A and B are shown apart, each in its own frame.
Chain A
Amino acid sequence: MKHTRREFVRGGVAAFTLGFAAPRFLCDAALAQSAGFRNLVVVYLAGGNDSLSMLVPYRDPFYATRRPTLAVPAGQALQIGSDSAGNELGLHPRLTGLRTIFNEGKLAFIQRTGYENSSRSHFEGTDIWSTANPASTQGPGWLGRYLDSIPAPVDPLAAWNTAGETPRTLQARTVAVPSILNPATYAFQSPNGTVEAENERAAAVRMSSHLPIHRPHLSFVNASAQAAFATLDRVALVGAYAPSIVYPNNGFALALRAVAGALASQIGTRVFWVQTGGYDTHAAQSTLNGSYATLMTTLNDGLTAFYQDLNNQGLMNDTLILQFSEFGRRVSENGSNGTDHGAGSVMMALGGQVRGGLYGTAPSLSPDPGNPTLENGANDVRYETDFRSIYARVLDRWLGTDSATILGGDFRGGSPEFL
């Protein structure tokens, strides 16, 4: 019997209330703690990224035959060399900025990441990647557990979610991660003028300050209000951020702009969540000129702007971007010029201290049912690198914690050495 998200959250509310330390004036402490801290930006491509269109095995003879309308022609793929097995690979033609970063040695592609018996469900798949536990997707997310491991009291701005609802990955027991879509509107308004508005804010702070143990659901909402009040003033600093370059005007890029603002303002946040959707390309995927090309443009332009902005400010060495998606897609295209849900996918790691390159090996796309690099009757990409080994490396080598504790087991073996 699977547990639903709702059941988790309900259990999580009670646990949350018990462990929650009411934020007091943590700003100064957070600033002191955070100086020189490394930060992690998780980028989630929602819907299941068709990684065979992002990192293209353009020499594979079956690539074009199994994808007659979707294949990126060899002449258009941005060639970036070969992996350790000699598979020649290229980037989607819209990823020009990412190729430059790759050539600078700051971008790693980790091929065929996933896990045994990959879920083809968006919801279960996302829960598995979020909790790092394919056997049971109960409880907080893997980065939520990292936040729980920080010695209390945890700064309420230790993590920052730029999406609407708190992603499972960041759900923690001891800290309510703030969701801040737009720093400029993250403020407390009042129907009255300034002095009375201050009185109201003070009253609202007092009203939410009590967390009654016998009413965990009320306490949960109060804790959210508390976290809002405790973060308002620092976030206002970010709202005034003037980046060193112009970001594209879309949700993904503006979220990255806010992250850059938070880093430049040194408000103490260590973990960020950014997501961009539209990857569930069952139909009209139009790799070269249509919807998938638009997705790649958004991804490329946003990440490239972020990289340049942070580089200009000398912040890239403290920053790691880790990209994932809940699954890859079917090798053969379907009748709607799209691709259905598949299995293994590609992860990206980008940052000033990343050892760039091509990790893992590309699948052979041969439809032979015995093809060991595919599964499900040679229909889907079989994983080669357990995604938890990537998480382990990030936790151990970047966040400086013990991955075995956070992940509930030692997954260091077989991790590609991108950090």
Chain B
Amino acid sequence: MAHDPNIQHLLRRAGFGATAAEAASYGQRGLASTIDELVDFGRVADDVDERFAANEPLSPSTVINDARQRWLYRMVHTRRPLQEKMALFWHNYFATAYSKVAGRVGGLEATRMLAAKSTEHPAGLRGQLELFRDYALPNFRDLLVEIAKNPAMLVWLDGRNNTKARPQENFAREVMELFTIGIGQFVEADVYAGARVFTGWNLQRIGNADDPNAFYQFVYNAGQHDTDAKAFSFPIYQDGSRTIPARASAGGMQDGLDLLAALARHPETARRLARRLWAFFVSEIQTPDPAFVEQIATVYLQGDCHMASAVRAVLLSRDFGLPSNHFARYSWPVEYVVRALKEVGSAGYPLNSALSPLANMGQQLFEPPDVGGWTLGPSWFSTAAMLARMNFASNLIGRQRTDIGRAASGNGPTPEALLSFYLDRLTPAPYEPAAYEALLAYLRGSTPWTGTEAQLRVKAPGLLHLIVGSSEYQLV
């Protein structure tokens, strides 16, 4: 039975695609109700990490490759796909790379800083990824404050060393250029003032030197805060005032909270977020519709920086549902891999095997290339990355040849029937006639079609490989 194309579109965008069972279950629920369940994910039970722990004896809070596998497992198996999709969105948005953090604090603590769950550390230390899950859809301003105090971010953008004698500009620049208002909306002097605002936002070490659970936590170091007034080129306060007043050092942390609040409610931040949501959920092919941008920005601002309202409005928008916007995004490598695992099947496929292919495709989790995140869209499709995608498909399918041959049995009386069977399962973008004919020609081959199990054991994996490796399947 063919599934509802609108629900499949929704699940590719607001999730990572669907297994046959998931597609059927959400299909019965209907589109509106599915959107509610995706956005209001808090009401859906969550036992994915427990299932992962039961299946895989790994150390995801202390070994980064294990953390990568746990996250992939969660993307494949979660019943809260939008929460995980937004966590991935924020991971790219507040891009923090393991390698630099590990270079400063060691691999074990860097992994904890990025991926630990509170139950995995005696002091309840939680990784940055948990922050992205907590704030997947709540308030952007709160997320921004949490990020400014996040130990991994304080190491990554050097805020832990920001002192009044010599302010550190790295975080102040990126919080304006990348995280909020964007280039063109501020001047160099704002960066220097911003660096002074965050003086004293440092880290402190908790625990003795010989304690294996010693850790860093955020501290406002009043003695290192620059107490002078800081002037900006854009409004900081609701009355339009552009200057953060001089404050006694004890209360100086308020400087940063004032600046972050001003940045979060700046209209350009609202528009930039709306454009990012457009590219993430609606289309990378059409430029954002100005009316859409204004509508989503308004929802965001009227909701006091509430992301759930903005994302719900995106998923309910006319633009989101337009058939011309189906398959109008280039899948990120992680999206591609997780979708293939859901649609082809992941039984017997060790997620460890997906890590090198993902790196070859250009996306290693917890290792964005720089603070700007990955370069999205067509940039994913270098020749080597395209080969890496085809070769991942080959490896995934090659490990399941027997199962695939068995599943195909009875579904291949003719080449056309077998192709139709898989196109219904795998939902690639529509094939052009020439590509469709090439798939059929592959099945027909040089020997007559018999549809026997022996033939299907060869041709079914080959056909699946061609589909999952095809350009049409790279679009979501």
Contacts and interface: CB of A to CB of B under 8 A. Distances in A.
A190 interface: yes
B48 interface: no
B378 A335 contact: no
B382 A224 contact: yes
9 contacts: A2-B184, A47-B370, A120-B173, A200-B442, A221-B330, A222-B471, A225-B471, A232-B387, A336-B166
Contacts of A337: 161
B298 interface: no
B427 interface: no
Interface residues of B, number: 73
A227 B385 CA distance: 12
Given A166-B379, A199-B445, A221 B386 contact: yes
B465 interface: yes
B384 interface: yes
A397 to B, nearest CB: 30
A165 B390 contact: no
Nearest to B436: A207
A280 B177 CA distance: 16
Given A9-B379, A199-B445, A190 B163 contact: no
B439 interface: yes
B381 A164 contact: no
Contacts of A179: 382-385
A121 B177 contact: yes
B474 interface: yes
A275 B379 CA distance: 17
Q: Which 4 A-B pairs have the closest CB atoms?
A: A335-B166, A336-B161, A179-B382, A191-B398
A189 B372 contact: no
Nearest to B371: A122
B458 interface: yes
Given A199-B442, A335-B161, A180 B465 contact: no
Given A6-B377, A188-B390, A212-B432, A206 B438 contact: yes
A104 interface: no
A250 interface: no
A221 B462 contact: no
B169 A340 contact: yes
A204 B382 CA distance: 17
A394 B145 CA distance: 48
A222 B473 CA distance: 11
Contacts of A284: 104
A1 interface: yes
A328 B466 CA distance: 47
Interface stretch (B111-119, B242-250, B279-287): B279-287
A143 to B, nearest CB: 16
B391 interface: yes
Interface string A188-218: 1111100010011011101111101001111
A221 B474 contact: yes
Nearest to B380: A165
A166 B161 contact: no
Contact of A188 (B104, B163, B188, B391): B391
A152 interface: no
B461 interface: yes
A340 B474 CA distance: 40
Given A165-B375, A165-B380, A199 B462 contact: yes
B261 interface: no
A315 to B, nearest CB: 24
A71 to B, nearest CB: 16
Nearest to B155: A283
Nearest to A215: B432
B470 A207 contact: yes
A220 interface: yes
Nearest to B372: A123
Contacts of A78: none
Interface string B190-201: 010000000000
B158 A9 contact: no
Nearest to A191: B398
A338 interface: yes
A272 B291 CA distance: 43
B165 A335 contact: yes
B466 A207 contact: yes
B375 A196 contact: no
B471 A120 contact: no
Nearest to A156: B383
Contact of B382 (A122, A166, A190): A166
Interface in B364-418: 369-372, 374-387, 390-391, 394-395, 397-398, 401
Contacts of B170: 280, 282-283, 340
Contact of A203 (B284, B374, B432, B438): B438
A199 B384 CA distance: 21
A231 interface: yes
Contacts of A222: 471
A336 B167 CA distance: 9
A236 B191 CA distance: 49
Interface string A279-293: 010111000000100
A191 B461 CA distance: 7
B414 to A, nearest CB: 18
Max chain B Cβ within 10 angstroms of own Cβ: one of A46, A176, A222, A334: A334
A120 B435 contact: no
A399 interface: no
Interface in B408-449: 429, 432, 434-435, 438-439, 441-442, 445
B372 A122 contact: yes
A121 B173 contact: yes
B357 to A, nearest CB: 10
A218 B472 contact: yes
A178 interface: yes
Given A10-B377, A123-B372, A283-B168, A336 B394 contact: no
B274 to A, nearest CB: 14
B93 to A, nearest CB: 14
Interface string A1-18: 110011101101100000
Interface string A121-134: 11110000000000
A228 interface: yes
B151 interface: no
A196 B456 CA distance: 12
B360 interface: yes
B9 to A, nearest CB: 16
B256 interface: no
A165 B370 contact: no
Nearest to A160: B383
A206 B434 CA distance: 8
A191 B462 contact: yes
B475 interface: yes
A341 interface: yes
B269 interface: no
B362 interface: yes
Contact of A120 (B191, B330, B441, B474): B191
A185 interface: yes
A136 interface: no
B394 A6 contact: no
Given A224-B383, A225-B471, A334-B167, 15 more contacts: A122-B370, A124-B183, A161-B382, A164-B382, A164-B384, A178-B383, A190-B465, A203-B441, A220-B381, A221-B474, A224-B382, A280-B370, A283-B161, A340-B169, A376-B188
